[in-house]
Amino acid sequence: MPRLYRMLEQEGVEYTIGLITNNRLRAYANSAIEKARRIFHEERQPIQFFGTVSHRAGSWLRSRKVVYKAEIMPQGENRRFIVTNREGKLKEIYSFYRSRGNAENWIKDLKNALKSDRTSCHSFMANFFRLLEHSLAYILLDHLHRRAVSADIRKMQFDTLRLKLIKIGAFVEESVQRIVIHLPECYPWKKTFVLIAKALSPPLGT
């Protein structure tokens, strides 16, 4: 949406956004595709080139920088286009765009594991507050995830982490000087729970 670009630019936010391929964009990468195809026929190895053009879509008020990838693989050709205001080497800009998959996984964790889409209240502010609570819970769970000491835990998605380390039965014994959590003897993740609890504990004397 053109107004999204304008808002990001007005606020000084760097962006890298994928574009839907059309014939006009495809034409920008024609020479690079032909060059990649010649090299591929000689070396029989996937080859890719990156380029940039100043492009103005019909709905844009001005031109913007478009970075394209022209790639030839055994499966065929691959052209991709992104619009960006980032500076740097074209390959690095495109690599940054490819890392969006991580962001999609984070959004998946927020939505699926923490149920952030439960905004069924009748007022906007009530739903806004519920989403804020879910976001704060995400920060806490992300901190737990980052401090996990087991390689198996690091690979877990948030919903699995929540079920195995948080949503468990325990007896809490509270006294004046301390709080003791009694885990069941049959709890299979007890050792991991203790290791992570120690990793999260502040150093003695603080």
DSSP letter string, 87-156? -S-HHHHHHHHHTHHHHHHHHHIIIIIS-TT----SSHHHHHHHHHHHHHHHHHHHHHHHT--SHHHHT-
Mean pLDDT is lowest, of 46-60, 70-84, 177-191, for 177-191
Domain boundaries of the chain, sorted by first residue: 2-98, 104-200
**Segment (H or E) for 197:** helix 190-200
Total-model pTM: 0.60
What pLDDT does 10 receive? 92
What pLDDT does 166 receive? 83
Percent of the chain with pLDDT over 70: 95
pLDDT tens by residue, 39-72 = 999 888 899 999 999 999 988 889 999 999 999 9
Question: Which single residue is written with the structure tokens 């500076």?
Answer: 87
Q: How many CB atoms lie within 10 A of CB 27?
A: 10
| Residue 206: band (very low, low, confident or very high) from pLDDT cuts 50, 70, 90 | low
**Closest by Cα among 54, 59, 57 to 85:** 54
Interaxial angle between packed helices 158-165 and 190-200, expressed in degrees from 0 to 180 and rounded to the nearest 10: 100
Question: Does residue 107 register a pLDDT over 60?
Answer: yes
At residue 48, the 3 state secondary structure works out as strand
Q: Which residue has the higher pLDDT, 205 or 58?
A: 58
Question: Which single residue is written with the structure tokens 């709890």?
Answer: 187
